[in-house]
Structure 1
Amino acid sequence: MVSPNISAGSSSSLPSLIVRCRSSYLITIVFMLITAAVLAEICSALPLSGSIYIWAAESAGPKYARFFGFIVAWWSCTAWMTFAAGNCQTTANYIVSQLAVWEIDFPGGIGNDNVKWRALIWAISEALLVVAVAINYLPPRMYSAIFRLSVALMMLDFFLCVIWLPIGVSKTYGFRSAKDVFTMTYNGTGAPAGWNWMLSFLFTAGTMTGFDASGHIAEETKNASVVAGKGILTSALATGILGFATAILFLFCTPDLETLFALKAPQPFVQIYALALGKGGSIVMTSIAVVGLILNTSVAIVAASRLVFAVARDGVLPLSGWISTVTTDGQPKNAVTVIFVFGATLLCTILPSQVAFTSLVSAGGVPTIAAYGLIALLRLTMTPDAFQSSHFRLGPLARPFYASAVFFNAIVFSVMISPFFFPVTAETFNFAPVIFGAVTVFGIASWYLTPEDKWLRRELILQGLNPTEETE
């Protein structure tokens, strides 16, 4: 199934991660559903655009609201604006992998050490970003059709993988045994066995982040206090169930490890499709994936633009006055433009170093996980009894759910800032903790420099905590 969140890691490492993801995926589903329930509870009480940083601010209570609100605002903007660039590079990898399928020679060879190859991926990625952004300039009435088409393509991709791919595998290289699927492990990271298993959470948790998106468009959603919260829960549930089914399917359908790791395409699944379905079949599957990813990227930009608009509207970002300006029909087109400029600039890092780009995009997942865990921590310690107006109140499960969400997201966060390959060298160094630290410093600096009367005044925090009571 096409998922924009897969782009958080290098596509060439996905087969290795899938080999190790069986038990970790089940663990991830349970704890991410708990995290989704925590977010749905507060989303129902505060269905606002840019919601995740508002949730963090309100969860901290009046005394620390602005501090945590500023930090999460910067975290969230960083995460969501990198999604667009990451998705476009993932889509480009699908396209250029057809060169390996058809055995077409490329000057200097297919590989990230070839600057001409990186230039090709960069050019295609930039073109795809233009297309995804252009969709966001269409009239708003067309968005629902785009959403439906995106979901339809994802489901088509899923069912073709469930039905067509196994048929092709059965007629070609054959299925892996159940013993291989459920008991075999592979260490391609050089890490100790325990941490090698932990690194599988890069894949499992990476595919299940971003379910807070429905909260970012809550102000444009009818009956948002119910629908937005339900969207968070159903998104996490659907992604978990279908994602786990897809992972098990690929475990049965991938060739033996020697063949699997001999695949040289940037997106190995394209070559797997070719082995199982033939070259023509790989074109069909690649085309569906490419169109689906483009639409997924445009949908991600819709959510991201609402977040950036809300943060700018509240005066946190540079040029906030211009960024927060909307069109006559209420669309934050300037925020979309900011995302395009940011994404296009980020993609330029492909040219000097593929490692640098991968680190930047990987760092996009870290702030999201950090925000999930922080909100749960603040609810547990600062405001455990607040937001009684929520339609998704956790009741007696509240504190256990908050603690569970803190625990799991802390584990995923530590994995995401860990080295991905050992021993660590300049080429394998994970820049995610450095980038995350820098973004956090920007958030703290903006909190310190922005006057209190410019954003998140105390009376607004009290209104959020007590929506039916008058502010004291």
Structure 2
Amino acid sequence: MFITAAVLAEICSALPLSGSIYLWAAESAGPKHARFFGFLVAWWACTAWMTFTASNCQTTANYIVSQLAVWEVNFPGGVGNDNIQWRALIWAISEGMLLLSVAINYLPPKFYSGVFKFSIGLMMLDFFLCLIWLPIGVSKTYGFRSASDVFTMTYNGTGAPAAWNWLLSLLFTAGTLTGFDASGHIAEETKNASVVAAKGILSSAIATGVLGFITTILFLFCTPDLDTVFALDAPQPFVQIYALALGKKASIFMTVIAVVGLIMNTTVAIVASSRLVFAVARDGVLPLSGWIGAVDSKGQPRNAVTVIYIFAAALLCTIIPSQVAFTSLVSAGAAPTIAAYGLIALLRLTMTPNCFQSSHFKLGKYAKPFYVCAVLFNALVFAVDISPFEFPVTAQTFNFATVIFGAISIFAVLSWYFTPEEKWLRKDQILKAYETVDHPEDE
């Protein structure tokens, strides 16, 4: 993914525009096929980013309600997704978290820098507490796992063949393998965007990868034995692990940090997704594009933020009738993004390998090897994301990401076919951008 980030940074530097990822795909395809791939990735990206918002809110709710399991609070009907009262509680908390994150997005732009810095500070506090406090607590309670357990032990709870069971572990890190293109989506609001936005893609991917690797190894050493882990009944088992290692009261502190961090995470996701929706609407594709693509007196796309809120709030409502339905919807969140990463690399390799000379992050002699690597790796991750999570496959365990991704792609093709060229991504616009990034005015 570091290599994928480098591929995206190269094109982001040449095309630092809001809604960047679908424009990157369009220009990477060259003038002849630009509109088709632009439509395809626009649909993929909008679906993915708008679903991330709802998914984050439900994750936040899971941290909060898991404290009920820590303190052994009796809940009417019992704790579990088969209890409609329990699902209603998670839904209500999720909607509240969504409303709070959207409210932060309505703040004046001058507060955004503070919000971003606070988010980073809180996440680093969480990281260092896990790095220092958690191991101390584990050493005084149930003890560490052995190095043999951490590095050699496997467990197959999926029913998949051993090799594919191992590959399914990529699902655990799926959240950290995507989303680093966010800085490109707010490029038009970034000073010196051709350098800063592209650098943001690289630095966020590298920081997440390095710190995420350290965290994963740490958690493997600090996780209780499997019998204990499988006995944990909270929606977010780490809350109970904190309680086992640090004590019940300390688990509240760690939960609060996680919840506030997730609220900030959702806030940033809304910033990125609203700019993506704004850019697509500005080009005239979406219904009510004139309203969605408008900005307020401070140049902020508040109407696009409202659209994100309405979509995410409606998506969260599927929790009430069926947790499986909601999980199926959000399971498709990562797949379109991964597909877009791989597709852009493939188009750069096959269609425009020598273009975008205006980039400040040109890959030079490493370009084609990087493109090949990004295509192959993202293809593998995409295959994992849409594969069954359990075998044998039943109606209850079926991964609907394949159906959702297929439907999104069909809608994209239909909208490309029926949308007149003069309404979105006109050929003259594509050619102008294409010439600009290869022949910058200052050269």
* Match for residue 103 of structure 2 among 105, 121, 134: 134
Using the alignment, how far apart are the partners of 1:363 and 1:311 within structure 2? 20
* Match for residue 93 of structure 2 among 124, 146, 152: 124
2:413 is the counterpart of 1:440: no
Structure 1 equivalent of residue 299 of structure 2: 330
Q: 1:61 aligns to what SS in structure 2?
A: coil
2:55 is the counterpart of 1:81: no
Using the alignment, how far apart are the partners of 1:186 and 1:316 within structure 2? 47
Per-residue deviation, 1:206: 3.0
- Segments of 4+ moved more than 3 angstroms: 468-471
Question: Does the CA contact (< 8 Å) of 1:363 and 1:431 recur in 2?
Answer: yes
Structure 2 equivalent of residue 38 of structure 1: 7
2:190 is the counterpart of 1:221: yes
Overall identity of the aligned pairs, in %: 78
Q: 1:261 aligns to what SS in structure 2?
A: helix
Using the alignment, how far apart are the partners of 1:414 and 1:350 within structure 2? 26
Q: Counterparts in 2 of 1:369-388, with a 5 A limit? A: 369-388=338-357
Using the alignment, how far apart are the partners of 1:456 and 1:284 within structure 2? 50
2:333 is the counterpart of 1:353: no
Question: Does the CA contact (< 8 Å) of 1:463 and 1:469 recur in 2?
Answer: no
One-letter code aligned to 1:285 = M
* Match for residue 378 of structure 2 among 395, 409, 428: 409
2:164 is the counterpart of 1:195: yes
Q: 1:199 aligns to what SS in structure 2?
A: helix
Per-residue deviation, 1:423: 1.1
Using the alignment, how far apart are the partners of 2:369 and 2:361 within structure 1? 15
One-letter code aligned to 1:54 = L
Per-residue deviation, 1:68: 0.5
Q: Counterparts in 2 of 1:24-423, with a 5 A limit? A: 32-423=1-392
Q: Per-residue displacement from partner, 1:248-292 (whole Å, max 9, x unpaired)?
A: 000000100000111000000000000000001100000000011
Question: Does the CA contact (< 8 Å) of 1:47 and 1:225 recur in 2?
Answer: yes
Using the alignment, how far apart are the partners of 1:222 and 1:470 within structure 2? 18
Q: Per-residue displacement from partner, 1:47-83 (whole Å, max 9, x unpaired)?
A: 0000000000000000100000011001100000011
One-letter code aligned to 1:73 = A
One-letter code aligned to 1:121 = I
Using the alignment, how far apart are the partners of 1:314 and 1:92 within structure 2? 36
Q: 1:421 aligns to what SS in structure 2?
A: coil
Using the alignment, how far apart are the partners of 2:268 and 2:425 within structure 1? 28
Using the alignment, how far apart are the partners of 1:358 and 1:188 within structure 2? 19
Per-residue deviation, 1:340: 0.3
Per-residue deviation, 1:108: 1.0
Using the alignment, how far apart are the partners of 1:382 and 1:42 within structure 2? 14
One-letter code aligned to 2:28 = S
Point out the more displaced range, 155-164 or 436-445: 436-445
- Alignment RMSD (CA, Å): 1.1
Q: 2:154 aligns to what SS in structure 1?
A: coil
Using the alignment, how far apart are the partners of 2:181 and 2:119 within structure 1? 18
Per-residue deviation, 1:318: 1.5
Using the alignment, how far apart are the partners of 1:416 and 1:187 within structure 2? 18
Alignment TM-score, normalising by the size of structure 1: 0.92
One-letter code aligned to 2:133 = W
Per-residue deviation, 1:425: 1.1
One-letter code aligned to 2:281 = A
Per-residue deviation, 1:317: 1.4
User: CA, structure 1 residues 71+105, in 2 after alignment: closer, same or farther (shift >3 Å)?
Assistant: same
Alignment TM-score, normalising by the size of structure 2: 0.98
Aligned residues between the structures: 440
Q: 1:168 aligns to what SS in structure 2?
A: helix
Q: 2:72 aligns to what SS in structure 1?
A: coil
Question: Does the CA contact (< 8 Å) of 1:45 and 1:387 recur in 2?
Answer: yes
Q: Per-residue displacement from partner, 1:132-181 (whole Å, max 9, x unpaired)?
A: 10100011100111101111110000000000000000000000011111
Q: Per-residue displacement from partner, 1:224-249 (whole Å, max 9, x unpaired)?
A: 00001100000000000011101000
